[in-house]
Amino acid sequence: QYLRRAAKAGINRTVLFAAFHSDYTQANREVARIVASLNARRPGRVYGFAFVNAERDRGRVAAMVGEAVTRFGFCGIKVHRHDARISREICEVARAFKLPVLYDVMGEVSVCELLAQEYPDVNFIIPHLGSFGDDWQSQLALIDHLTRHPNIYTDTSGVRRFDLLEQAVRRAGAKKILFGTDGPWLHPGVELAKVKALELSPVDERLVLSGNFLRLISRVKTKERAR
């Protein structure tokens, strides 16, 4: 259903990762099966991210991510504050595999200061402008981090305060913003309309809709690139 909605909206490629799960090793393998099936019919249609739990997966993050990257061709890590706060182990694994980390901080944007300084060679995507719950103070604070730190990015998914999205682009630049949908719960066509409403230049719109993401995954040595 999501892919049908995306195709109707003109979205041709999508990043997939698991929903919350009690066993992310199993969940990531199931995502890999879906990615492989979809890409067999249309190569390059979907990209996989490996979901990990900083607490429950402690001590085995490298093995989980290693399998996801070298066996399945995944190109990023997903972490959610609802599971646990991000750990040094995850950041170090991301550094080793040169992976971007999509970390939903659930409003705890102050962690960006530590992440930016401790891991300047790891790129962090903080979705929803820092808060899916419309915490405008956290979203404003994240714009400051976007502006100051070269390795902190955000995405547009679920951001309802359009003025804050405009401010993020104006202050941090289109190069720090990625298009996101948070599908299947949010409609990709609605989320895409927000980007169109920003009335960016053609160059900046391409950065937001695809260029920034492709740049962030360009260093990853997935199995497809190894071939």
Q: Could you state, in chain order, the average pLDDT of each consecutive group of 10 residues for the chain (227 residues)?
A: 94 96 98 97 96 98 98 98 98 98 98 98 98 96 98 97 98 98 96 98 98 96 50
Amino acid at 151: N
In this prediction the pTM is: 0.96
Query: DSSP character for 22?
Result: S
Contact 101, 124 (CB under 8 A): yes
d(CA 179, CA 198): 12
Kind plus residue range of the DSSP H or E element containing 140: helix 136-148
R_g of the chain computed on alpha carbons: 16
Q: How far is CA 170 from CA 110, 114, 117, in A?
A: 21, 24, 24
Q: Are strands 101-104 and 124-126 parallel, antiparallel or unpaired?
A: parallel
The pLDDT of residue 226 = 37
Count other Cβ atoms within 10 Å, centred on residue 94. Answer: 25
The pLDDT of residue 225 = 46
Query: DSSP character for 176?
Result: G
Q: DSSP readout, 44-112?
A: TSEEE-EE--TTTTTT-HHHHHHIIIIIT----EEEETTT----HHHHHHHHHHT--EEEE-TT-TTHH
The pLDDT of residue 219 = 87
